[in-house]
Amino acid sequence: MSSAGIRYHEGTRYQRAQAARQVLTADGILCAAAASMLAAAPAALPVLGLRRRSRWPLVAALGATAGLCMTGASRRRPPAALMTAAAVVNLGWVVACTSTLHRGTGIGKAAMVVTATFDATAATLQWILRPDDDRLLFEHLPEDLLAKAVTS
């Protein structure tokens, strides 16, 4: 039983972990694709409003983000710390994408808005799908002990 009085069953934990792995997988694949695109097509940088000198740092950062996400996706139950890190990194990508909107072409700006929207959605889902270790703790406590702990 959680502190909110909701009983969580093993099936719910499994479904949350499965959803977390799916979100991390999609995020990891898209980050790897973006890194590959920037590495292979430097001509896309000005279209997206990015500076040419930022090419390799962006490729490395996107690759690291992909690695983080795929590491979590490979786990049976992605840990809360990894899910939190992925959510925070995605918020960083939202800031990075929106900071380029004053540069680039119309199609590049649209691509950055779509990317920022995906990253914001991924960050939200990663935050929501973090395993809540308090659930595991409270689930195994007897009801009267839990009631005493909450009221004291």
pTM: 0.79
Chain position carrying tokens 């009631």: 147
For position 134, what pLDDT does the model report? 42
Question: Which helix (H) or strand (E) segment is 107 a member of?
Answer: helix 106-128
Q: Are 69 and 31 a contacting pair, CB within 8 Å?
A: yes
The structure tokens 């279209």 sit at 47
Q: Cα–Cα distances in Å, from 79 out to 9, 24, 43, 44? A: 18, 12, 38, 36
Which pLDDT value is given to residue 137? 46
Q: What is the mean pLDDT of each run of 10 residues along the chain (152 residues)?
A: 50 88 97 97 94 95 97 94 96 96 94 97 95 55 54 55
